[in-house]
Amino acid sequence: MRRILEVDGEEIPVWLASTRQGHVLHMGGREIPCALEDGAGKGAYILELSGTRIPMRIAVDESATFIHFDGRTYEIARTDPADTLDRTASSASRDQLVAPMPGVVVSVSVAPGDAVKEGAPMLLIESMKLETTVTAPRDGIVAEVPFATGESFGGKDVLLRLEPQEETD
């Protein structure tokens, strides 16, 4: 599960994985085991990171996370690369998924003719060293998957097309 974070104007792609030992943050080629425990008080948490425990206060809104720790307050903007895809899809048509930026198809899990449910994973792509699962924006039938595993695509390329939805009255 990926996010693009913006800290002090710098964009940082990150990826969170879960293992049997807990969560692992993947960032800049490093793997950082981490855990977040509830603390006492509203928005109070204890972050466990590389063996140290850091008390902090956290508040989350739609697109930013506010963190107060060690006497300072930070604002981190969050983007879900999948949201960017969804938005592109819905603004044009709910029938096609358009790549927000160039990348490579890592795996394809659907074929033309497949029926998919909203939210079902269809493609795994990689852009900017970040993997993103392309999920179905609605229930439907897959019409076309233009790129195969391992193929590169450009920004704004159509990654997948669904059969047009029948007009409902």
Partner 1 sequence: MTISKLLVANRGEIAARVLRTARVKGIRTAVLRHSSEQEGPAHLIADEVVTIEGPTPVAAYLDIPQIVEVAQRIGADAVHPGYGFLSENAGFVAALEQAGVTFVGPTSEVIDLMGDKIRARAFVEERGFPVAPSAIEDDDPATFVERSRAVGYPLLIKPSAGGGGKGMRVVREDGALESEIETARREGERYFGDGRLFVERYIERPRHIEVQVMGDGQGNVVHFWERECSIQRRFQKIIEETPSPALTPEQRDEICETAAGIARAVNYRGAGTVEFIYAQDGAFYFLEMNTRLQVEHPVTEMVTGFDLVAEQLRIAAGEGLSATQIEIPQSGHSIELRICAEDATEDFRPAVGDILLLDEPRGEGVRVDSGILDGGKVTTDFDPMLSKLIVHGRDRAQAIARGRRAAQDYVILGVTTNLGYLDAILAHPKFRSGDVSTGFLADEADTLNQERDPAATTDILAAATVLSDARLVIALENVPEIYRLMGSWRN
Q: Which of residues 4-33 bind partner 1 (CB under 8 A)?
A: 5, 7-8, 10, 12, 14-19, 23, 25-27, 31-32
Binding segment for partner 1 among 61-69, 139-147, 149-157, 161-169 (CB under 8 A)? 61-69
Q: Which is nearer to partner 1, 5 or 143 (CB)?
A: 5
Q: Which is nearer to partner 1, 18 or 168 (CB)?
A: 18
Residues in Cβ contact with 50 at an 8 Å cutoff, skipping those fewer than 6 apart: 32, 33, 34
Q: Which is nearer to partner 1, 36 or 143 (CB)?
A: 36
One DSSP character per residue, 15-47 reads: EEEEETTEEEEEETTEEEEEEEEE-SSTTEEEE
Least Cβ distance, residue 4 to partner 1 (angstroms): 11
Q: Which is nearer to partner 1, 23 or 94 (CB)?
A: 23
CA distances to 41, 82, 104, 110, 128 from 148, rounded to whole Å, are 50, 19, 9, 11, 19
Least Cβ distance, residue 161 to partner 1 (angstroms): 22
**Rounded distance, CA 101 to CA 11, Å?**
15
Output DSSP code: residue 163: P
Least Cβ distance, residue 15 to partner 1 (angstroms): 6
Please answer whether residues 12 and 4 qualify as being in contact, where contact means their C-beta atoms are separated by less than 8 angstroms.
yes
Nearest residue to 8 via CA among 60, 82, 73: 73
Token pair 């990654």: residue:
159
Q: x/- string (CB under 8 A) for partner 1, residues 110-149?
A: -----------x--x-x----x-x----------------
Kindly list the residues in this chain that would bind partner 1 in the complex (CB under 8 A).
1, 3, 5, 7-8, 10, 12, 14-19, 23, 25-27, 31-32, 34-36, 41-43, 45, 47, 49-50, 54, 56-61, 65-76, 78, 80, 106-107, 121, 124, 126, 131, 133
